[in-house]
Amino acid sequence: MNPQHRARPAPARVLAILLMLAGGTACCQTIKSVRIIVPYTPGSGPDILGRLLAEEVGRQNGPTMVVEDHPGAGTVIGTEAVARAVPDGSTVLIVAPSFIINPSLRKVNYDPLTNFEPICHLAATPMVIVVNGASPYRTLADLLNAARATPGELTLGSGGPGSSLHIGFEIIKRAAGINMTYVPYGGNAPAVNALLGGHLTAVYADYPTVVEQIKSGTLRALATGGRTRAEPLPDVSGRNDPCAKS
């Protein structure tokens, strides 16, 4: 991986990177099965990506790929499980920015720079602020103005804490001068279920987690975290669009 690419900030996207325990590359050619560890909940963006990857490898007659979800502790549980695995190339990990963020926030039993070997950058996806389809908020400006009018009363959930989505929300709060209550969940899927049940005002999620609900109208996308509109959401403003500002 190009170090310059790794250092480039990506506040608007959840990056998924495939990593292998250091020392395992030479064995990849002979192993018959590979465990893909996803340190997120079922139905999350990385989980969906892992299963798509396993299907594609199967079509190419590669090794058998087994996807295992190991959520918890902000991705630390799954990541530490891979750090303890035998470095024979049979265990890989799908990660997002939390992989690098966590060691700065809490005690972890791995070093992201020395215990793992990067294989490739798999995908990038927009981060999307969504509300219930029945919500009165139709734009991000509507939500921000309501938050200013009722400080601390509106809630926003995401997989976290310490995730890129959580950090992105804190950046929005500071930039907009608002006070919304952050509610952490074990993953984006539980947060979306809470939103659909009327227990949250909004959710900040990666696009694959909410795409079907957006298409069906049960959720409404207010804005993406990118500077401009995302290709899959041409009608949803980015943070630099005039309609995203109050």
Question: How much is the pLDDT for 148?
Answer: 96
Q: Write the DSSP string, the chain.
A: --HHHHHS--TTEEEEEEEEETT-GGGTTT-SEEEEEE-S-TTSHHHHHHHHHHHHHHHTT--EEEEEE---GGGHHHHHHHHTS-SSS-EEEEE-THHHHHHHHS--S--TTTSEEEEEEEEEEEEEEEEETT-S--SHHHHHHHHHHSTTTSEEEEE-SSSHHHHHHHHHHHHHT---EEEEESSHHHHHHHHHTTS-SEEEEEHHHHHHHHHHTSEEEEEESSSS--TT-TTSB-TTSGGG--
Tokens found for residue 244: 């995203």
Question: How much is the pLDDT for 5?
Answer: 35
Quickly tell me which residue has 């035998």 as its tokens.
86
Candidates 239, 76, 105; CA nearest to 168 is: 239
Identify residue 61 by its one-letter amino acid code: N
Residues 180 and 155 sit within 8 Å (Cβ to Cβ): yes
Domain boundaries, the chain: 3-124, 127-244
Phi, psi torsion values for 220, nearest 5 degrees: -120, 125
Residues 36 and 68 sit within 8 Å (Cβ to Cβ): yes
pLDDT digits (tens, 9 = 90+) for 52-99: 999 998 888 888 999 999 998 888 999 999 999 988 889 999 988 888
Identical fold, 3-124 and 127-244: yes
Phi, psi torsion values for 132, nearest 5 degrees: -60, 145
Mean per-residue pLDDT, 134-141: 95
Q: For residue 70, what are the contacts with CB-CB under 8 A and spacing of at least 6?
A: 37, 38, 39, 77, 78, 81
Question: How much is the pLDDT for 60?
Answer: 87
| pLDDT higher at 225 or 198 | 198
Tokens found for residue 185: 């969940």
Strands 116-132 and 202-206: antiparallel
pLDDT digits (tens, 9 = 90+) for 172-216: 899 999 999 999 988 888 999 999 999 999 999 988 889 899 999
Question: How much is the pLDDT for 18?
Answer: 58
Phi, psi torsion values for 152, nearest 5 degrees: 80, -10
pLDDT digits (tens, 9 = 90+) for 25-62: 444 456 788 999 999 888 888 888 899 999 998 888 88
Q: Which CATH number fits domain 127-244: 3.40.190.10, 2.40.240.10, 1.25.40.80, 3.40.50.300?
A: 3.40.190.10
How would you label 226-237 residue by residue, b for 16+ Cβ within 10 Å and e otherwise? beebbeebeebb
CATH fold of the domain at 3-124: D-Maltodextrin-Binding Protein; domain 2 (3.40.190)
Question: How much is the pLDDT for 13?
Answer: 42
